[in-house]
């Protein structure tokens, strides 16, 4: 290696003896491994002042200086600049002192009388490499390995510092923005995790161009990110950052040959609100983010204390819900589905209720959302399906009809994306003895659109086995004729909101008529949900709507009441609120 190829090492020698300093320079000039630039200071304070200017690779420190002596010399310089490696170079030949210095962070302890070129060169090289490795470990400990952004630990440290500053300067304001990507799982599922990772990296680079100088952006985990907005004049600064993020995500992310579009839901927590520590602020921003997501995604919400109270209440429900699954506190109720012209019960929809030990019978609106968010909907959904299949098979045997009674069960998207969903349904049909054609699975439009390919494949397999498939709440989601063309459904269920709004000349009536015409053309059955008046029933019957369900016929009731209803007339004609015209 030529001299010009050798790396250059900048050393700071803190040494009060000119003779010893000259000795060190002479030794270093002989080094074959690097070229050195040696800056010399006679006093410790002067040395510390020079370190503050930067550019020093290694410190060579004497322990006998005019303004400092012994181990305290190292402690002072290490406290001032812990990031710079220090080699003790002293005339004090003391094993205990050497051990103490190294244990407190010195890279090496060399005695001047034993000094020679090979030893000093090796010590300097080791110190530089060891320090580089330590700095890399430190960086990795506080930065996300995928995106290079700050991680949760560093973000928490910066947030703690901001709170400490705010306590000393009460007028100072700052905010935490917490957000994740809407439907990021769909990107991973459809394009693969490698594309998902590339998206996160590209998103991190875009975020760095959006935030203000002095603010901190961190990847908290998965597709969750947080931003610390420092030195705010008012809440408008945080809102401006949130709006810039939402606007910045409007442009697609070019990933390989794909253009990937994402949106974010953002929660904002302001320091002068209820939170008293970093974890509480992150929690509050997280709560606000979920409020934003529930309000339609692609937007921001500012935390208020009422959100925390709601979150605590939801957590209580989640805890009780987990206990309810283990304790078997759920019961099934059933609502008749009626052929409108014949006024005959054709089947039932199975609806779960929670027999809460304190609150009594809780309808699905009181717990299904929490069950979906926590994943409890999966074991609960399988339980509902098996109970419903078992019950309808008992009624088929007890009350034989032509055609046999069917059971309709709403299926969560979380169940449909399970790789074993087809085998699971087959297993339930086998255990209960229910013919496949007597089971009708209801899925919402949103489930089909969010998990289109995965869901379509499984539905095709189930339909080939004879299982009936129904689109629930048709018309309320992202209705797409292409999905009706690509896949043959057995039934569309018209959402109750259209039924309740049916009046001559209204949009609701026009939509109902259009759905009925469309279904008839495609050979698909229709069930109208939420029939509550005789007028609605008559209007639907006159429009040739085949089937309906609602309070006009019967509320969802206990199986014993259904058996009384079926037992009253072996033709299956509905006796409750029978309409005669």
Q: Average pLDDT for residues 67-95, to the nearest whole number?
A: 94
Residues 15 and 62: their CA atoms lie apart, in Å, by 5
Angle at the Cα of 240 (from 234 to 242), degrees rounded to 5? 115
In a domain, 579, yes or no: no
DSSP bridge partners of 439: 407
Q: Could you say which of 113, 141, 169 is where a domain stops?
A: 141
Is the pLDDT assigned to residue 138 strictly greater than 70? yes
**Which of the two residues, 171 and 186, has the higher pLDDT score?**
186
For 378-394, give one letter per residue: b (16+ CB within 10 A) or e. eebbbebbbbbbbbbbe
The predicted pLDDT at position 577 comes to 45
CATH at residue 480: 3.20.20.450
Same domain, yes or no: 263 and 356: no
* pLDDT at position 3 over 60: no
pLDDT digits 0-9 by tens, 356-382: 998 899 998 888 888 888 888 999 999
**Interatomic CA distance for residues 32 and 35, integer angstroms:** 8
Does pLDDT of 158 surpass 80? yes
549/407 same-domain check? yes
Confidence of residue 76 (pLDDT cuts 50, 70, 90): very high
Q: How do residues 187-196 score in pLDDT, each as one tens digit?
A: 887 788 899 9
> Which of 209-218, 315-324, 445-454, 544-553 shows the lowest mean pLDDT across its residues?
445-454
User: Does residue 530 fall inside a structural domain?
Assistant: yes
- The predicted model gives 152-162 an average pLDDT of 91
Are 386 and 329 within one domain?
Answer: yes
Query: How far apart (Å, rounded) are the C-alpha atoms in residues 558 and 68?
Result: 87
Q: CA-CA distance, 88 to 216, in Å (whole number)?
A: 37
- Domain range spanning residue 192? 152-303
Higher pLDDT, 548 or 232: 548
CA distances from residue 559 to 389, 428, 512, 565 in whole angstroms, order as listed: 13, 20, 31, 10
- Report the b/e string of 98-120 with b at 16+ CB within 10 A: beebeeeebbbbbebeeeeeeeb
Do residues 214 and 204 touch, judged by C-beta distance below 8 A? no
CATH code, domain carrying 286: 3.30.70.270
Instruction: Choose one of 112, 141, 170: the last residue of a domain.
Output: 141
CATH number at residue 75: 3.40.50.2300
Is 191 found in the same domain as 60?
no
pLDDT at site 569: 57
DSSP 168-194: HSTT-EEEEEEEEETTHHHHHHHH-HH
Q: What's residue 580's pLDDT?
A: 33
163 shares its domain with 218: yes
Answer for the pair 177, 226: CB distance below 8 angstroms, yes or no: yes
Nearest to 471 by CA among 453, 455, 494: 494
Share of the chain above pLDDT 70, in %: 91
In this predicted structure, the answer to whether residue 575 has a pLDDT above a threshold of 80 is no
| Residue 341 and residue 369 in one domain | yes
What does the alpha-carbon distance between residue 147 and residue 111 come to, in Å, rounded to a whole number?
45
Q: What CA–CA distance (Å, rounded) separates 475 from 498?
A: 9
Q: Which residue, of 122, 141, 160, is where some domain finishes?
A: 141
77-86 in b/e form (b: 16+ CB < 10 A) is bbeebeebbb
Q: Note whether 102 and 156 are same-domain residues.
A: no
Length in residues, the chain:
581
Specify whether the CB–CB gap between 42 and 17 falls below 8 A: no
């Amino acid at each position: 290696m030529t001299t010009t190829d050798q790396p250059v090492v900048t050393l700071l020698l803190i040494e009060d003896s000119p003779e010893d300093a000259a000795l060190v320079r002479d030794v270093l000039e002989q080094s074959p491994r690097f070229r050195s630039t040696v800056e010399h200071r006679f006093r410790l304070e002067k040395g510390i002042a020079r370190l503050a200017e930067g550019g020093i690779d290694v410190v060579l420190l004497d322990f006998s200086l005019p303004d400092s002596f012994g181990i305290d010399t190292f402690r002072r310089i290490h406290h001032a600049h812990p990031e710079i490696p220090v080699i003790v170079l002293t005339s004090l030949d003391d094993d205990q002192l050497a051990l103490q210095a190294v244990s407190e962070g010195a890279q090496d302890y060399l005695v001047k009388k034993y000094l020679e070129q090979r030893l000093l060169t090796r010590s300097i090289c080791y110190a530089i490499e060891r320090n580089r490795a330590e700095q890399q470990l430190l960086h990795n400990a506080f930065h996300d390995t995928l995106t290079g952004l700050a991680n949760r630990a560093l973000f928490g440290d910066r947030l703690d510092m901001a709170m400490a500053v705010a306590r000393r300067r009460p007028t100072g304001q700052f905010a935490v923005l917490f957000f994740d990507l809407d439907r990021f799982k769909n990107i991973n599922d459809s394009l693969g995790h490698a594309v998902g990772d590339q998206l996160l990296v590209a998103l991190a680079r875009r975020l760095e161009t959006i935030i203000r100088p002095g603010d901190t952006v961190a990847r908290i985990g998965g597709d969750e990110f947080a931003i610390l907005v420092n030195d705010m004049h008012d809440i408008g600064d945080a809102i401006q950052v949130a709006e810039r993020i939402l606007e910045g995500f409007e442009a697609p992310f070019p990933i390989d040959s794909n253009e990937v579009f994402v949106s974010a839901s953002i929660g904002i927590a302001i320091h002068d609100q209820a939170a008293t520590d970093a974890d509480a602020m992150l929690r509050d921003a997280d709560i606000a983010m979920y409020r934003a997501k529930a309000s339609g995604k692609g937007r921001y919400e500012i935390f208020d204390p009422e959100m925390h109270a709601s979150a605590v209440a939801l957590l209580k429900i989640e805890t009780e819900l987990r206990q309810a699954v283990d304790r078997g506190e759920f019961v099934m109720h059933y609502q008749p589905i009626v052929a409108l012209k014949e006024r005959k019960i054709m089947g039932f929809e199975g609806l779960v209720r929670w027999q809460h030990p304190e609150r009594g019978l809780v309808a699905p609106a009181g717990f299904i959302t929490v069950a979906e968010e926590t994943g409890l909907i999966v074991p609960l959904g399988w339980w509902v399906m098996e109970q419903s299949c078992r019950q309808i098979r008992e009624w088929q045997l007890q009350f034989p009809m032509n055609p046999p009674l069917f059971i309709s069960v709403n299926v969560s998207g979380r169940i449909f994306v399970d790789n074993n969903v087809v085998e699971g349904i087959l297993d339930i049909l086998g255990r209960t003895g229910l013919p496949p054609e007597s089971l009708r699975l209801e899925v919402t439009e949103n489930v089909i659109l969010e998990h289109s390919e995965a869901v379509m494949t499984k539905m095709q397999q189930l339909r080939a086995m004879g299982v009936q498939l129904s689109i629930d709440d048709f018309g309320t989601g992202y209705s797409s004729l292409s999905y009706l063309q690509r896949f043959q459904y057995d039934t569309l269920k018209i959402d109750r909101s259209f039924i309740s709004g049916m009046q001559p000349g209204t949009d609701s009536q026009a939509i109902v008529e259009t759905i009925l015409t469309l279904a008839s053309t495609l050979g698909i059955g229709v069930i109208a949900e939420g029939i509550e008046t005789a007028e609605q029933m008559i209007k639907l019957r006159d429009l040739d709507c085949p089937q309906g369900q609602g309070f006009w016929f019967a509320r969802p009731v206990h199986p014993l009441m259904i058996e009384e209803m079926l037992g009253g007339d072996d033709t299956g004609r509905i006796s409750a609120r029978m309409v005669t015209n």
